[in-house]
Amino acid sequence: MSPASEDRPFRVLKFGGTSVTGLPKVEVLAGVVAERARTHRPVVVVSAFSGVTDALGRALEVAALGGDWAPLVEELHGRHERAVDELVAPDDALHAVVTERFEEVGRLLQGVALVREWTPRVRDAVLSTGETLSARILAAALGERGVPARPVPPGAWLPTDGAFGSAEPDLAATAETLSEALPSFDGVPVVPGFIGASREGETTTLGRGGSDLSAAVLGVCLPGDRVEIWTDVDGVLTADPRIVGEAETLARMSFDELLELAHWGAKVVQPAAARLLRARGVPLEIRNTADPNALGTGVDAQSGTGEEHPVRALASRSHATLLHLDAPGVEDPAALTARALEALRQHRIEVIMMTQGSSEAAVCVLVPDSARDAARRALDEAFHLERLTGRVDAVRAEEGCTVVTVVGDGMRRRVGISGRVFGVLGHHGVNVRAIAQGASERNISVVVTGEQGPLAVRAIHQAFFAPRPRAAEVWVAGVGRVGETLLDQLAERAEHQRLRVVGIGRSRVALLAPDGVDLTAWRDAVEGADDPPESLVETAVSSAHHPRIFVDCTASPEVPRHYRRLLESGVSVVAANKVGFAGPVEDWRGLRESARVGASAYYETTVGAGLPVLRTVADLVDTGDRVLRLEGVLSGTLGYLCDQVMQGAVFSEAVREAHGLGYTEPHPADDLSGMDVARKLVILARSAGLELELGDIEVASLLPGEADVPLEEFWSTLPRLDDGMEARRAEAAAEGRRLVYMGTVDEDGARVGLETVGPEHPCAGLRGSENLVLVVSERYRETPLVVRGPGAGPQVTAAGVFADILRARAEAQEVPVPLPDA
């Protein structure tokens, strides 16, 4: 370096494999080095071209097996020759260096092939090829771009202890070497990363990610004012962008946080390099060669999260096996754990995580899937005698697990972070297999199944990093009269109520819109949809959003089959569909159990449309009352028909009018059969704590059996009922009574049918499509509780569904999910 540069601080710039591969990246590299040279004395550390070291490792393995390693070497040779031609003007000398190096690699591999094994010395000699050549080529490329540069001989500036494969840098010797070499060095040094040299001058390598360590060693021995690591990401992100597309770059973080993330799977910087920089107080910057103007992430000892933002980022590590060692006959849990860990250590098996309960002799350890069998054998051997005597059970293994870790310095000073993590996982139906919190209290780790790993990451990230307040995601199944009316109501109020409809389904197709459906034109959008109908449930289950609400406006028996899965996955279910709640008692119990462990179900509109019937009855029971009798008009359709007939209308004409008004089901026979009322009575009774079955109800249908026919035939045969209905009307009127289609549950059983009531009965005053539910209970024995109001029509039913959606959103948001600024 020239004397004029002596008053400027050093700056170590390390460029990774993706940052030195290809002309565009090298142009960026040259620009960055030239920019730093204006204010600093840059020292450049380079990795091998992307993929080269791995390819050399494969060539070694092929040679040791006696295979044909030559094509692999020829391909690498050609790749470096092409790099010279692409990055540097015609340079025969540089081509000769490349050829000579690969000829040496060939001789080494030929020797490996002869003896069918390699020594650590030979392996380091082969694997160091990539960095050796990239430093030579990039130094020449920098020179041609106006940045005078010279390659440093491999290992010359990084003395090590001579341990091949994982050499330890000698910091004192490195500092002495640099003090001797730099004063007379002319130009920008380009140092091959990953490579050191023993005291005898033999090539050594620093282990996986060793180029980062090379940069850190130079950064602390120069000393430099900071180390810059240039890679293919903007810096450290809040989560893996392959899992969380909206992950954000962190501007600042502490070395402690970075090391936690690195251990748990975020391989941005080699941990040994970060530890060295932390120990010597040298800051680190992580930058992106694809976007050199991005600020990247700055790392130092003081930039950790505070109480205001306690969680900094998430890391995840998949392909892990959870090993369970239970020892019912061992009295000292601590000794059990110590022996287990020592057995794994002796076999050099990485332990990712360990957890132990103090109340029992049992320990769980998480190891890589690749080490599963070896770890199991190690534990079996260590506890062989105890297994023979039954004091220790056989090791159980759960493979394919993922560990998800929440990291932040501020977690130590913020109460409730772990509760919030587990709350959001529970709300999304994620089953936690094991948990651990670091002694530093800056990490919380949970082990989940590999299948649920991405969902867990997305759910936690959404909870901690998404902007607030957030809209609930809503999926709507069914676009019949109620469904379409609901969507029109949502079009007016969804944004105001923080709701975003992301899916609409009908019988044969679904519309999926992760960013939200334009509800002003939802009909056209549904017409052009082509997603399969089952995707509506699948996207609701897999979404990491919170809250999530699935709305069933169908009359289908298929959709309710998915309720339990939705609930257990943390998706609230809002239903106007009676089928799922009036089925067998066992299914009803299953739904209640799913709602207890997952999200909640809301189905107020299944009885009484928009009337507060089910909540009112359930509240009585929940507060200790006992229901003695339930009765009332539960069908707005049949209530309307009875009222019309009592006013002198012809029955069949009244049915046609009710159908036109949207009061009936798509096929009016579903109303006239009485089964719709029977289902409502079952649901009402169950809300009162009575486990009534549909088959327990005596149903008196208004239809003869042969009337259960296709819709067109139904309309043609319906007038046959007119004379009978007129006769019943006349008889009731002669007695001063009214016809009502009533459902009743009392100590004598349950029944549904056409009855007459006198003027003293609350149902006698019903008009139009009004519903009425009468409740006699211990508290309301003398004066029954009555709920009365409109009980049919798409407008009131859709409004009731809308109200349930709002209730689901509000109650789901009570789950303790933290605000970023809380």
Q: Active-site residues: which are they? A: 680
Amino acid at the residue 294: A
Residue 312 neighbours by CB under 8 Å, 6+ apart: 238, 250, 253, 257, 304, 305, 407, 408, 409, 410
* 3-class SS letters over 512-580: ECCCCCCHHHHHHHHHCCCECCCHHHHHHHHCCCCCEEEEECCCCCCHHHHHHHHHHCCCEEEECCCHH
Amino acid at the residue 697: I
DSSP-derived letter for residue 109 is: H
* 3-class SS letters over 15-82: ECHHHCCCHHHHHHHHHHHHHHHCCCEEEEEECCCCCHHHHHHHHHHHHHCCCCCHHHHHHHHHHHHH
Q: 745 - beta bridge partners?
A: 630, 750
Of 403, 407, 444, 424, whose CA–CA distance to 310 is shortest? 407
**3-class DSSP assignment, residue 309:** coil
In the chain, the largest separation of any two C-alpha atoms, in whole Å, equals 122
Integer Rg of the chain from CA: 37
CB atoms within 10 A of CB 137: 26
Residue 95 neighbours by CB under 8 Å, 6+ apart: 81, 84
Residue 821 neighbours by CB under 8 Å, 6+ apart: 308, 309
CA 513, CA 519: separation in Å to the nearest integer?
11
CA 784, CA 775: separation in Å to the nearest integer?
5
Buried b (16+ CB within 10 A) or exposed e, 314-332: bbbbbebbbbbbbbeebee
Rounded to 5 degrees, φ, ψ at 205 are -120, 160
Q: To 5 degrees, how large is the angle CA 550–CA 551–CA 554?
A: 130
The per-residue DSSP string of 212-274 comes to: HHHHHHHHHHTTEEEEEEEESSSS-BSS-TTT-TT--B-SEEEHHHHHHHHHTT--SS-HHHH
Would you say 461 and 247 are in contact if contact means Cβ atoms under 8 Å apart?
A: yes
CB atoms within 10 A of CB 700: 11
